[in-house]
Amino acid sequence: MFRSDSTAHGHVVRRFTPDGGGSSTPPLHVQPRRLSYLERTTKRAMDIVGALIFFAVFGPLYLLVALGVRISMGRPVHFWQNRLGERGQRFRFYKFRSMVHNSEHVLDEFLSRNDMARTEWDTFQKLEKDPRITPIGQFIRKLSLDELPQFWNVLKGDMSIVGPRPCMERQRSLYGKGWEHYCAMRPGITGLWQVSGRNRLSYARRVELDVEYVNNWSLWLDIKILFKTVRAVITGEGSR
């Protein structure tokens, strides 16, 4: 969580602490914190090094997941769609495919026939029982293996390893006054949302967490989130 501290200039900032505590979410009208050139360069360097280490160490796992998707669901192995990133720019976002081919049509049909599912979707932008996801898709999602292709996005410079979760274009309106904060940094493979409850949280809470992350960014905060991400992946915390 975060705790409030006063800076030498009298401003109040919120610091991430792993042992709980904290106060209310910073007001969304507060201007987002802007990283200095050195901070941006350091964060980008860590992203590149981290992505290269991932492919060097976990390359066989990547190929194994790709093979499993290919055998069970056929082509394509990868799924991509447009997401919005830093400065609101559109980029191509990669994942391993975990859904049926006509997923959007299946979702629309399902929501039109199920009022409870529609309410769940409007609140979380997720479904606990999603009719689009295949059996192997359920498996790789539970272990977050479907996210592995996003390390290509990191190398390309579209994403960071840690940051706000990339949002779809139709979700932009859900950010309201928090949109400026979202656009202030590259979106991440992991972030505060993933280690704070993930799919158990409403989308509104996800926006609040993005605002908290941007306003309180530090290299140490990224490191803490990475360690908490490993724990969340191992335990399956917050996944559906």
At 33, the pLDDT band (50, 70, 90 cuts) reads confident
Q: Mind listing the pLDDT tens digit for each residue in 154-206?
A: 999 999 999 999 999 989 999 998 999 999 999 999 999 889 887 788 889 99
What does R_g of the chain's alpha carbons equal in angstroms? 18
| CA 84 – CA 158 distance, rounded (Å) | 9
Q: Which of 35, 131, 138, 60 is nearest to 96 (CA)?
A: 138
User: How many CB atoms sit inside 10 A of residue 2's CB?
Assistant: 21
Q: Mind listing the pLDDT tens digit for each residue in 130-141?
A: 878 888 888 998
| CA 137 – CA 98 distance, rounded (Å) | 4
| CA 105 – CA 212 distance, rounded (Å) | 35
Helix axes 37-73, 219-235, angle to 10 degrees: 20
Q: What share of the chain is helix, strand, coil (3-state, %, to 5)?
A: 55, 15, 30
The mean pLDDT of the chain is 84
Residue that the structure tokens 């779809």 belong to: 168
Tell me, what DSSP letter sits at residue 188? Answer: E
Give the pTM: 0.78
Q: Mind listing the pLDDT tens digit for each residue in 53-82?
A: 999 999 999 999 999 999 988 889 998 999
Q: Mind listing the pLDDT tens digit for each residue in 102-138?
A: 777 778 888 888 888 888 888 888 778 887 888 888 8
Does residue 105 sit in helix, strand or coil?
helix
| CA 215 – CA 61 distance, rounded (Å) | 35
| Strand partners of residue 96 | 78
